[in-house]
Structure 1
Amino acid sequence: MMASATMARPSLTSNDTAVLQALFDAESSPSSGVTIDPRLPSWPATVLISHDDLGTLKTLEVEIVRELQPDKNPSVESVQDAVHKLDSIVQRYPSYPSAYTNRAQTLRMLVDLQSNEISNTNANEGSLDTLFTPEATDLVTRIFNDLSQAIDLVKPISPVNPVSPVQARLLADAYTHRGYIVLKAARIKKNHNNGDSEIDNLNVGPQRLWGFEADQLEEMASRDFFLGGQYGNKVAQQLAVQTNPYAKMCGAIVKEALRKEMTGS
């Protein structure tokens, strides 16, 4: 018999309620631990670049990125040229975080373009994830390292420290992009362990992820998505909940309880 609706409910503390809400509601808590202060300079003091140089660099980056817009149908050569220009910025201004994230995005375009060229000559390659082919290992390692370097340059010393809107936007994008790469690595690793992967050699993808188990990678991705969500990325907020091991565990418990409620077993 179905339980009565008047059955006594367990008493939850305010902390228990907050934890459950945070686990299951992606919109409930992201950004609650982050203070974004528009009065702050765009970049923290660790970015050792003069105000004039920052203006020049921003203009140069806009010009580089504009040439890579989809309507311009960029070629492999034009994307490689953009990477070289960003390389020059990084070499001259190694503490400039935006150059790293822009280079990561540009390298990602290069991976996709080169993968398309390979798939045109080898139809079997088209079914593999473009980031996790042996040919892409060096590039995706650079992407991962660039995202990590950008995060390290601008993340606050403590989560309670306020950040500027520019700083928050970069952290949101970089954490989300890195989390996506780590999550793809986790799923490929899991598929390989289940015998479903077409990749025989697991030494593909970012070199810093080699040696981690699938569950470890998924937890790392969940952490990145959580932080990306805290800094304002809506997609990361949703993915943080989907990959949170505690949320999945609690979700399984709730599903089983509902099944028993419906079946009376």
Structure 2
Amino acid sequence: MKTLSQNDKNVLSRIFESHPSGSLATSPIDHTLPTSLPSIPPGALSELRELEFAAISPLDGERPSQESLRQSIAKLTDLVTSYPQYSSAYNNRAQALRLLHGDDLYNEAIRDSTLWSDLCSAIAFASPGQSQQRVCELQGQILRSAYAQRGFLTWKAAKNSAITLDSNNLPLELVGLEKEAIEDKARSDLEAAGRYGDQEAKKMAISANPYARLCGNIVEEAMIAEMQKMRDSWNKGQSHTSKGN
């Protein structure tokens, strides 16, 4: 029996990295863990969450005004100034900035805002100390939202990279990268969001996998060819039947 080459093994590994029965199926969230966040004193967390809720509650509508967005951003800025490692406030400030400025990383308003750095800070401060460490539900919520937001923004930037835009407006981590490299970064974030429970991010991560897309195209072409063979066979049968009559 012929064994797989190392290249074949690498390709299969890349495919199953983004398969729902693989790494994305294992959630690191432990719902039995008490609510807590790294570097935030337990006694301060409840008060911080109340202040944060007060800051973002005016945005709980279909079309919050720009003034409401700016006020919420200012209050969230006060929170992270007082508690620089409060990951949830960074994540929510990024969401408010997206509502204010949109989702195009090439946009100068986004470049000059804290949107990208907020998502990076939210991920850094909410992440567990060890890669396999379980997290509580609150940590999981922050991580899946921040990873999903950053992944979506990065994926959109990759899709716009063919357009004549100033790539220097992009975050430093993306400046100078080819489209495929930007897509890889987006896929990595979307996979992480999927592991923390974001089902839409999980689907995007699977569809964004280049090897999975290749396999999907191969399967689609094979199905089309097989259907054509079935049609040809049916037409031939119909032809013989007509001649017999």
TM-score range, shorter chain: 0.7 to 0.9
Question: 1:146-174: per-residue Cα shift (whole Å, max 9, x none)?
Answer: 11111111222444221111111111111
Aligned with 1:173 (options 128, 136, 145): 145
Aligned position for 1:145: 117
Asked if the contact 2:151/2:190 (under 8 Å) is kept, the reply is yes
Which amino acid counterpart does residue 108 of structure 1 have in structure 2? R
In structure 2, the partner of 1:160 is 132
Aligned pair in 2 of structure 1 residues 222, 24: CA closer, same or farther (>3 Å)? closer
2:41 pairs with 1:36: no
Secondary structure of 1:237 counterpart: helix
Superposition deviation, residue 235 in structure 1: 0.5
Q: What SS does the corresponding residue of 1:39 show, helix, strand or coil?
A: coil
How many equivalent pairs are there?
A: 223
Identity %: 34
| Counterpart in the other structure of 2:243 | none
The one-letter amino acid of 2:200's match is: V
SS at match of 2:59: coil
Q: What are the within-5 Å matches in structure 2 for residues 10-159 of structure 1? A: 22=16, 26=20, 28-29=21-22, 31-44=24-37, 46-47=38-39, 49-70=40-61, 73-112=63-102, 130-139=104-113, 142-159=114-131
> Structure 1 residues 31 and 240, CA, compared in 2 at 3 Å: closer, same or farther?
closer
Deviation, 1:60, is 0.7
5+ residue gaps in structure 2? 230-245
For residue 99 of structure 1, report the CA deviation from its aligned partner. Answer: 0.9
Question: Post-superposition, which runs of at least 4 consecutive aligned residues in structure 1 deviate over 6 A?
Answer: 18-21
1:25 Cα deviation from its structure 2 partner: 5.4
Structure showing greater Rg:
2
1:119-140 alpha-carbon deviations (Å, 9 max, x no partner): xxxxxxxxxx65432343212x
The gaps in structure 1 that reach 5 residues or longer are: 1-9, 113-128
- More contact order relative to length (CA 8 Å, sep ≥ 6): 1
Paired AA for residue 52 in structure 1: G
- CA 1:30–1:229 in structure 2 vs 1: closer, same or farther (change >3 Å)? farther
Mapped partners of 2:175, 2:225: distance in 1: 42
Matched with 2:197 is 232
The residue type equivalent to 1:228 in the other structure is: A
The TM-score normalised by the length of structure 2 is 0.79
1:171-204 alpha-carbon deviations (Å, 9 max, x no partner): 1111111000100110011x32xxxx5x3x2323
Q: CA deviation at 1:31?
A: 4.8
Rounded to whole Å, the distance in 2 between the matches of 1:91 and 1:252 is 50
- Using the alignment, how far apart are the partners of 2:54 and 2:139 within structure 1? 21
**What is the match of residue 239 of structure 2?**
none
Structure 1 residues 20, 85: CA separation in 2 closer, same or farther (over 3 Å shift)?
closer
Q: CA deviation at 1:229?
A: 0.6
